[in-house]
Amino acid sequence: MDWKEILRRRLATPSTSPNKKKSEQELKDEEMDLFTKYYSEWKGGRKNTNEFYKTIPRFYYRLPAEDEVLLQKLREESRAVFLQRKSRELLDNEELQVGEKAGPKCKQFFTAKVFAKLLHTDSYGRISIMQFFNYVMRKVWLHQTRIGLSLYDVAGQGYLRESDLENYILELIPTLPQLDGLEKSFYSFYVCTAVRKFFFFLDPLRTGKIKIQDILACSFLDDLLELRDEELSKESQETNWFSAPSALRVYGQYLNLDKDHNGMLSKEELSRYGTATMTNVFLDRVFQECLTYDGEMDYKTYLDFVLALENRKEPAALQYIFKLLDIENKGYLNVFSLNYFFRAIQELMKIHGQDPVSFQDVKDEIFDMVKPKDPLKISLQDLINSNQGDTVTTILIDLNGFWTYENREALVANDNENSTDLDDT
């Protein structure tokens, strides 16, 4: 018989004093007393609830405070020992050469699960040895890199702050042959350039920290570690943000724009960026929304600006530009905001002796390209989903970009003619 049945029968028993009626409150008190008694017995006789809570295992350990030096040192040492143990569990170069005697470390790779992952279309149900070897190499590299990054995770919470990643890249530089030519005086600027790409794309909410898991999942670390290749082609270096030529190009552009040599960029100086055809309205928004110092932009803020404009197809870049275009901070672009920016394009066209294009036509083209869920509003997600975000933003902020879009058919025809002429020769 459970406690509910006991309680029901006890309350159903007639009172020993039938002539004395109990008040409603007395009945409630008796019911609560009986409930407490039988519930305690049913739970094993625990009358003190504190005893019950003591049986719950501890699942939270607070991080030591800054003034708790001893606890911090203990935590750092224990994490270092843990990471060293994990590192020893990985295959080294000799063990990766799979021979007749595969050690215990290899056991994790010789499983049905791994085999199924690598099995594709072989009619005999086989997997390639090279394919298997590359898989193991990749897994070992990921674990090694994760351990290496975790050594810089001061908080031990699975993420890196900006200063943590800066330390990691700074100590990585001497191990990358493609960066041998960098002057040590340029190291701090190189590190800043490299770190900004990670944080611009992996920390869109600007929390100041990135998950180590996200770093491993993206391709940026592959690009950075590609610089270990001593024979990396010139073309690969030019397209790799982390290469020495790329970093020197970006920093060189910054220095060239800085006409007064004060280490910062004013709005007038930034207006000469690229083809110097961005509208003043857009530049005003850049300096309103982005972090500046006495109305001027530092190198770190400039890097965000460059990353956004050079990667306009990427969601993080579109988010950056969308925030600037959303002048009313409503979370969408409407006809008013589109007209606000395109009027500046029309003004530049007049200045350059071109016949202004009708806003109504451009507005219709933009909505046709994006096809937003709401026919009167364009959200950031609409821009991303349309795969036309780079074209739309270019039309609104850059005269040269708009001219290229407007004359795209003529430019394509001209390119085709040039190709034909080259083939004939």
290 with 277: CB under 8 angstroms?
Answer: no
Q: How far apart are CA 420 and CA 425, in angstroms?
A: 9
CA angle 290, 296, 297 (to 5 degrees): 55
pLDDT in tens, 328-381: 999 999 999 999 999 999 999 999 888 889 999 999 999 999 999 999 999 999
Q: How far apart are CA 362 and CA 147, in angstroms?
A: 52
Q: How far apart are CA 210 and CA 27, in angstroms?
A: 60
> Residue 226, SS3?
helix
User: Residue 419: pLDDT above 60?
Assistant: no
pTM of the model: 0.72
Which residue's entry shows tokens 């430019």?
A: 411
Q: How far apart are CA 82 and CA 76, in angstroms?
A: 10
Q: Is 22 left (phi over 0), alpha (psi -120 to 50) or beta?
A: beta
User: Residue 411: pLDDT above 90?
Assistant: no
Pure H helices in 151-241: 162-172, 187-202, 212-217, 220-225, 234-239
- What's the pLDDT score for residue 339? 96
CATH superfamily of 262-413: EF-hand (1.10.238.10)
User: Residue 418: pLDDT above 70?
Assistant: no
pLDDT in tens, 230-260: 888 889 899 999 999 999 999 999 999 999 9
> Residue 333, SS3?
strand
Q: Tokens for 128?
A: 């390639």
Give mean pLDDT, residues 273-300. Answer: 94
- What's the pLDDT score for residue 82? 77
User: Residue 99: pLDDT above 50?
Assistant: no
- What's the pLDDT score for residue 157? 86
Give mean pLDDT, residues 408-418. Answer: 62
The domains of the chain are located at 3-54, 69-237, 262-413
Q: Tokens for 113?
A: 């699960």
Give the single-character DSSP code of 139. Answer: H
pLDDT in tens, 377-403: 999 999 999 999 999 999 999 999 999
